[in-house]
Chains A and B, each alone.
Chain A
Amino acid sequence: MTVGNLASAADTVEADRQRDWREALAAMALVGPATALIVVFLIGPLVCIALLSLTDYQLGAKALRFVGLANYAEMFGDRVFRRSLENTLTYVGVVVPLSVFLGLGAALLIEASASLRGFYRTIFFLPVMATLIAMAVVWEFVLHPQFGMLNLALNAIGMTGQDWLHDRKIVLFTFCGIGVWQSLGFNMVLFMAGLTSIPRDLYEAAEVDGAGQAWNRFWTVTWPLLGPVTLFVVVISAIRSFQVFDAIQVLTKGGPNRASEVLLYTMYSEGFEYFRSGYAAAVTMVFLAFVLALALFKTWFLDRRVHYG
């Protein structure tokens, strides 16, 4: 090896090192702002909310005290919170199966033929786009006991209408209905994405094997492949349902008599109306536990198994 070669090899190493260094420096500049914002608006607040839930902090207070699990003890002993948790679970338990089942039905029926396919897809998807709070105000009038469209239509076919938003026994299910109406189209397009990823030749193979009827094709080809997709949609739908808030806040404020109180509404009223930040943080932790558990389940078990084309 000559001296010249050595020198040029050293040069290359030096150049490489310099290049790496410059690349790292550029990368730092590029990720810097995003990283800083992640710390301030995501990681920091996450740590804070957990710590806050162990204190008696009230917004604007000069000092705060560490109170251990006192907030959690108070919460689980509180009738309002238990009602709120129960209502949320009921809401999720009603909305998820209905919106998934109807979303799947709509997707299968719409995709079964080309006739008016685009038209139906547009109509079913429309509620997903429409500002929920504006539609909540519209729903309130649709559900008006005397002059609302629903009761007038029910009267027209000889049924008695209800006071949908003020009857304690009904109000939560009224919101479930609005929730299903709003999220059905979203689940539908998720299923459609799942359906189009089923290879065409599987249907041809099934036909060769004698599964000529639409019904048979559904059970032999569509359904087994749709299983994982369905589970996926169920989890996404559940995560979204836990976040129910808008319509309830504007229409009933959790009432009447806490009958439509849900977790996010409890968090909102404790945290932003009474400014009991510590207690509201504890409520948030319960909400977060549910959503995080579902999201982790989705990430670890489903994202690997469900493949979209």
Chain B
Amino acid sequence: MLHERELKVFVEGTTNFFEVAAQQPASIGSPYLVEEPLALHEYSGLIEVTGKREGVVCFTAPKTMLAVLLMKMHETDFGHETMRDLVGEVANTISGNARRDFGNDFRISPPRVLFGETPPIEPRPGARTFVIPIHWRSHSAKLVVALG
């Protein structure tokens, strides 16, 4: 089961991503536990975690936020494929960075991207599902961490 103190790793990873990649820090809200299915934004990058911990890490964000994030990253292509690429890259980066604390037995898959009206994330048996709210400029996104 994921402990509240371990969430700090993902909060710091999220903060670091926006500070470095977008050169503009995000404000991270208080993480909360969810027990109901969780609706996703327009684009989501999902990483399957196996090994020492089992579960998923998912970054989900609206298109408007991703467009601004791409601009801040000096990207000139704002098409659908680039948006897909970006959510996958954010999820991959935050999950990969977590190995600094969890070690190399925290194995992560290549990102799987969800787009449009996707089914909500269901709480996973044997895992606690936490949502880390992300506020950046005038936009909001979420990092969902469900690890057993």
A and B are interacting partners: no
